[in-house]
C-alpha cells in the first residue's frame, strides 16, 4: 500500500496598518466545534478549492507541529511552533489564546501564550493511544481575529473502529438491493440544452428502482460523441441540495461520466427550485429517519447509487467492464459504500469520506459527519435505536468489504470529516490502497488531490 504525506503552506495575509494586538477571548464547549458541510452553492456542485497562500491584510500567522509530517508515536510530546508577522515584519510582542485537546473533544488545556520577535511555541500533550491532537491558536490584530490550527497525528494507522457490525448487516443489504431491482430500470436520457459540445453529448439521466414503492434517481450523464466503447466514472456528490453540473471535460478524454443527484429530483431546474428544496424538503435531510434502518434517508440514496451501475451497463457506448467511483465527503462515503455493495465497480476514490465511525463520540473521540452523537438532541430520547440504525450505514462496516484498488485522501485539519474517522475506514480496508495526505488540509478538494486521483483512476480504467 502506498502512502504519501505532503505539507501545504498556508498563510494569512496582507494588511496596511500598524501592529496592534490583543488577546482573544475563547469560548467553551466542543473544541473546534464542527462546521456544518455547506450546501453546494451553485449548480456547478463541488468546486475545486485553490490552496494557494491566503493573502489578507498583510498578516502571516501560522501554527505548525515540530515534525514535518505531523506524525508522532504514542508517548511523544509534540511542540507547536507559532509565527506572526505583519507587513513582512516580525511582531515584537503579542499575547495569544490557545486550546489544545483531542480533535472535536473538550479542550484538555487552554490559556494564553506569548510570542517575541515574531515567534513562540506551545508544548502539546502526550497521547498514549492512537489519535489526533488539535492545537487552536487565536490572536486579534487590530479589529480582526485570526486563527491558526495544527493537528498532530499519533500513530493514525493504528486507530481501531468503535463501530459495531450488525449480525445481519450483509443480508440486510443483499435483500434490499435484490428488492430494489424488482422493477425495470426504465432509464430515460434527455439532452440538456446548452451543455453538449462538439465532442460530448450531455443528458439528464433518469432511472427507477424499488424501495417501499418505485423511486426515481437522476444524474448528469456525459458521453463522447465519437463512435466507440468507453470506460465509465460515477461521481458521487458531497452533501448539499444543488446537483452537480456534469463532467464533460473528463468525457472529452474518452470516458462516460455520470454525476449523481441523490435527492430524487430532476437536475435541469433553475437555482430557485433547489433553494426551495434546501429550505423545505431537504432541510436537515441527513438526520431524517434514524429511528429505523428502513426509514433512514440514506437507504434510498444508497439503493439509487447502487442501481446507477445498471444504468452504466445499459449504455451501448459502455465498454462492458470498466467502472470507477469518485467522491468527496458525503460523496466519499457513497463511493466506498457503493463499491462495497456493487462488485462491478473496479476502482474507487474517496476524499475525506463522511459517515465513518459515527459512535466515536460515545468513546471519547471524534465521530463521523454528520456528527449524530455530538448532538444529544438527535439521539437522547432513543439512543439505542439510533445506534442500531446507524450501524447499518456506517462507512466502516462497508469498507471492510472493499475488494478493489482504492485511492483515499484527506487533511489532518479537517473539522468536518475528522481524520480520526477517515483513518478508521482506511485502516480496516484490506484491498490494495493508496493514501495521499495533506497535513494542513481542511475540508476542501485541493487541485493536487483531484489531479492525482483522476490520473490514477483514468489510467487504471483504460488498461
Structural domains in the chain, sorted by start: 2-158 (2.60.40.1930), 169-461 (3.40.50.1820)
- Separation between Cα atoms, residue 417 and residue 420, nearest integer Å: 8
Taking alpha carbons only, the member of 369, 438, 357, 412 closest to residue 103 is: 412
Neighbouring CB atoms inside 10 A of 210's CB total: 16
The predicted structure's pLDDT at residue 113: 96
Residue 359: all three cell numbers together: 459512535
Place of cell 434517508: 297
Check if the beta carbon of residue 442 is closer than 8 Å to that of residue 411.
yes
User: Is residue 170 annotated as a catalytic residue, yes or no?
Assistant: no
The predicted structure's pLDDT at residue 24: 36
Q: Consecutive 10-residue runs of the chain (463 residues): their mean pLDDT?
A: 54 34 32 30 33 62 97 98 95 94 96 96 97 97 92 98 97 98 98 96 98 98 98 97 96 98 97 96 96 97 98 98 98 98 98 98 97 91 94 98 98 98 98 98 96 98 93
The predicted structure's pLDDT at residue 42: 29
Catalytic residue from among 329, 335, 340, 409 = 329
* Bond prior to 16 in cis (omega within 30° of 0): no
User: Is residue 414 annotated as a catalytic residue, yes or no?
Assistant: yes
Radius of gyration of the chain (CA): 23
Catalytic residue from among 19, 322, 371, 443 = 443
The predicted structure's pLDDT at residue 182: 96
User: Is residue 34 annotated as a catalytic residue, yes or no?
Assistant: no
The predicted structure's pLDDT at residue 1: 59
Catalytic residue from among 136, 247, 394, 414 = 414
Taking alpha carbons only, the member of 386, 335, 332 closest to residue 354 is: 332
For residue 136, the cross-strand partners are 99, 149
Amino acid at each position: 500500500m502506498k502512502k504519501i504525506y505532503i505539507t501545504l503552506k498556508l498563510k494569512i495575509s496582507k494588511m496596511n496598518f500598524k501592529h496592534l494586538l490583543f488577546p482573544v477571548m475563547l469560548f467553551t464547549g466542543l473544541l473546534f466545534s464542527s462546521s456544518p458541510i455547506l450546501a453546494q452553492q451553485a449548480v456547478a456542485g463541488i468546486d475545486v478549492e485553490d490552496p494557494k497562500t491566503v493573502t489578507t491584510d498583510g498578516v502571516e500567522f501560522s501554527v505548525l507541529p515540530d515534525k514535518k509530517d505531523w506524525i508522532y508515536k504514542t508517548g511523544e510530546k509534540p511542540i507547536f511552533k507559532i509565527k506572526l508577522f505583519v507587513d513582512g515584519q516580525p511582531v515584537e510582542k503579542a499575547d495569544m489564546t490557545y486550546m489544545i485537546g483531542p480533535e472535536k473533544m473538550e479542550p484538555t488545556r487552554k490559556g494564553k501564550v506569548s510570542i517575541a520577535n515574531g515567534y513562540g511555541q506551545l508544548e502539546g500533550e502526550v497521547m498514549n493511544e492512537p489519535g489526533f491532537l488539535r492545537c487552536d491558536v487565536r490572536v486579534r490584530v487590530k479589529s480582526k481575529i485570526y486563527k491558526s490550527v495544527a493537528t498532530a497525528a499519533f500513530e493514525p494507522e493504528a486507530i481501531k473502529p468503535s463501530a459495531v457490525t450488525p449480525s445481519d448487516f450483509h443480508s440486510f443489504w443483499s435483500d434490499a438491493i435484490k428488492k430494489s431491482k424488482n422493477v425495470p430500470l426504465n432509464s430515460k436520457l434527455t439532452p440538456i440544452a446548452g451543455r453538449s459540445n462538439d465532442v460530448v453529448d450531455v443528458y439528464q439521466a433518469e432511472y427507477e428502482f424499488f424501495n417501499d414503492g418505485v423511486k426515481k434517481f437522476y444524474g448528469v450523464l456525459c458521453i463522447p460523441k465519437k463512435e466507440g466503447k468507453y470506460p465509465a466514472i460515477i461521481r458521487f456528490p458531497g452533501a448539499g441540495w444543488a446537483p452537480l453540473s456534469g463532467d464533460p471535460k473528463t468525457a472529452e478524454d474518452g470516458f462516460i461520466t455520470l454525476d449523481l443527484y441523490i435527492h430524487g429530483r430532476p437536475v435541469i431546474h433553475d437555482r430557485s427550485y433547489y433553494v426551495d428544496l434546501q429550505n423545505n424538503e431537504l432541510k436537515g435531510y441527513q438526520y431524517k429517519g434514524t429511528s429505523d434502518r428502513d426509514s433512514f434517508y440514506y437507504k434510498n440514496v444508497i439503493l439509487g447509487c447502487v442501481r446507477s451501475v445498471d444504468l452504466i451497463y445499459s449504455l451501448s457506448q459502455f465498454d462492458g467492464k470498466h467502472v470507477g467511483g469518485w467522491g468527496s465527503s458525503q460523496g466519499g462515503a457513497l463511493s466506498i459504500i457503493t463499491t462495497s455493495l456493487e462488485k462491478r465497480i473496479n476502482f474507487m476514490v474517496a476524499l475525506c469520506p463522511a459517515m465513518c465511525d459515527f459512535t466515536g463520540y460515545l468513546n471519547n473521540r471524534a465521530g463521523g459527519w454528520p456528527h449524530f452523537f455530538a448532538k444529544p438532541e438527535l439521539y437522547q430520547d432513543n439512543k439505542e435505536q439510533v445506534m442500531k440504525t446507524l450501524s447499518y450505514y456506517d462507512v466502516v462496516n462497508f469498507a471492510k468489504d472493499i475488494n478493489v484498488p482504492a485511492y483515499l485522501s484527506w487533511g489532518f485539519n479537517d473539522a468536518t470529516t475528522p481524520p480520526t474517522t477517515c483513518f478508521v475506514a482506511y485502516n480496516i480496508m484490506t484491498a490494495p490502497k493508496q493514501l495521499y495526505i495533506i497535513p494542513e488540509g481542511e475540508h476542501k478538494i485541493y487541485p493536487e488531490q483531484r489531479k492525482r486521483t483522476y490520473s490514477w483512476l483514468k489510467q487504471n480504467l483504460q488498461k
